[in-house]
Amino acid sequence: MTMSTPGGRRKPPTIHDVAREAGVSRGTVSRVLNGGHYVSPSAQEAVNAAIRKTGYVVNRHARSLITGRSDSVGFLLTEPQERFFEDPNFNVLLSNCTQALAAHDIPLLLMLAGTEDERRRITRYITAGHVDGVLLVSSHSGDRVAEELRAAGVPLVQCGKPMGLRSKVSYVAADDRDGARDMVRHLLSLGRRRIGVVSGPLDTPGGVDRLAGYKEILTEAGVGIDERLIVDGDYSRASGEAGAERLLAQAPDLDAMFVASDLMAQGALAALKRAGRRVPEDVSVGGFDDSAAALEATPALTTVRQPYDRISTEMVRVLLAQIGGEDPAAVILPTELVKRDST
């Protein structure tokens, strides 16, 4: 349904047109558009049918003036821009979160803040009310973005457990420690005893928990912890390659590697090949994430699968609930060991 103006142009349908078509009041239509509170199922069905028939589209700017909301959500990555393009996990999370929010007709704004100046600018933008909430996808200890957003009352959900925050922050995380335990337990079951590790960055929750899981299983198995078998990386391919080289120099008798991301494991495989070590005959290699990098690797990586689809869905669910007034919440999801050719 459209109206014609004196000049012959078609006028878009209004909320009044929807109300007339549905046979309800304008206030009922408004309540349906703002969440359906205090609206009977029959009235809501009638309004939704009228919206479809008239082709009515919400004027987001006008609604934001009334509700005080932007009707948008920020996807904030506090990493250098090149990491967004290198690491496939970020793209998967962005795509899944975008789809989950689309079901609620809410757009997602990508925000990259890898430097202190960028973080200050983005924090000012967010706290000025340009988004209703934030999905924080990467956070390091000492990074004050999450703390500042919480202090400003901005609804926030973090991917991964918070580190060093004084206030309560909602988060959704895979069980990194248990996933690492499963991987090291698997390597031990193959008869491997000199198991090196390239951990993630130790100022991140995943880096800390995956290293802790590695140590716990070796201790439980009576193998003990050899510090020469432990190096750290930053989740990049280059750091995995450099980490594997350090391990080979420090412990040339190693017979397995647990590399705390698939992208780093790709780099480790390159270093092993250059050193003349066969995988898995001489050295078994396990990764973490079950990202595209695991299947692209040669040989295909045994890895720990993070349930990115569920992580994304839960992050959106928890954030929308918080925007709606609910308290912060924490969700930890199980991982799964995926065996392939590298072990």
Confidence grade of residue 65 (pLDDT, cut at 50, 70, 90) = very low
At 168 the pLDDT is 80
Per-residue model confidence (pLDDT) at position 66: 46
Q: Report how many domains make up the chain.
A: 3
Of 6, 25, 58, which residue sits at a domain end? 58
Q: Are residues 313 and 207 in the same domain?
A: no
Q: Determine, yes or no, domain membership for 226.
A: yes
Question: What's the chain's average pLDDT?
Answer: 89
Asked if residue 340 belongs to a domain, the reply is no
CA distance 94 to 88: 10
Instruction: Tell me how far apart the alpha carbons of residues 168 and 148 are, in angstroms, rounded to a whole number.
Output: 12
User: Which two structure tokens, joined as six digits, stand for 341?
Assistant: 């050719």
- Report the relative pairing of strands 10-11 and 3-4 from DSSP bridges: antiparallel
| Pair 222, 294 in one domain | yes
| Largest interatomic CA distance in the chain | 87
pLDDT per residue as tens digits for the range 18-28: 899 999 988 88
In a domain, 260, yes or no: yes
Q: Is the pLDDT of residue 230 over 70?
A: yes
Structural domain of residue 52, as residue ranges?
15-58
User: Do 180 and 293 lie in a common domain?
Assistant: yes
Which helix (H) or strand (E) is 174 found in, with range?
strand 170-174
Is 9 part of a structural domain of the chain? no
- Cβ neighbours of 331 (radius 10 Å): 15
Q: Are residues 151 and 170 located together in one domain of the fold?
A: yes
Same domain, 50 and 89: no
Let me know whether 99 and 37 are in one domain.
no
Quick check: is 68 in a domain? no
Q: Which of these ranges, 69-73, 138-142, 163-167, has the smallest mean pLDDT?
A: 163-167
Considering only 166-170, 208-212, 240-244, which range has the smallest mean pLDDT?
166-170
CATH of the domain at 27: 1.10.260.40
In a shared domain, residues 215 and 273: yes
Write out the two tokens for 151: 């202090």
Domain check: are 106 and 141 in the same one? Answer: yes
pLDDT class of 5 with cuts at 50, 70, 90: very low
CATH number of the structural domain spanning residue 220: 3.40.50.2300
Q: What is the mean pLDDT of residues 291-313?
A: 96
Closest CA to 18 of 4, 39, 37, 33: 33
Residues 188 and 263 in one domain: yes
Cα Rg of the chain (Å, integer): 25
**Token pair 């079901």: residue:** 103
Mean pLDDT of 119-142: 88
Same domain, 135 and 182: no
Domain check: are 246 and 225 in the same one?
Answer: yes
pLDDT one-digit tens code per residue, 233-246 = 999 999 999 999 99
Asked whether residue 132 falls in the same domain as residue 248, the answer is no
